Amino acid sequence: MPIIVNLDVMMAKRKMSLNELSDKVGLTLANLSILKTGKAKAIRFSTLETICKVLHCQPADILEYVAEEEG
């Protein structure tokens, strides 16, 4: 998938655990884990906004586009 989720990188930079982020954002651990591992198919803007507020970052710090190689 050409969209890479760097949530774990931002969490590490902020020294925040998945449990702590889950509590502050209001998402279940299961849903946050799905997002963190890049298995999510979608994310609500409101959820992305809350994550960015909690981690003091921009959406581009969490989501990255990487073009697929044509073959």
What pLDDT digit, counting tens, does each position of 2-32 carry?
899 999 999 999 999 999 999 999 999 999 9
Domains of the chain: 3-65 (1.10.260.40)
Q: Give the pTM.
A: 0.89
Contact 48, 59 (CB under 8 A): yes
Q: Could you give the CA distance from residue 34 to residue 59 in angstroms, rounded to a whole number?
A: 17
Q: Is the pLDDT of residue 70 over 80?
A: no
Q: pLDDT band for position 68 (50/70/90)?
A: confident
Structure tokens, 15 = 């020294």
Q: Could you give the CA distance from residue 55 to residue 67 in angstroms, rounded to a whole number?
A: 26
What pLDDT digit, counting tens, does each position of 26-53 carry?
999 999 999 999 999 999 999 999 999 9
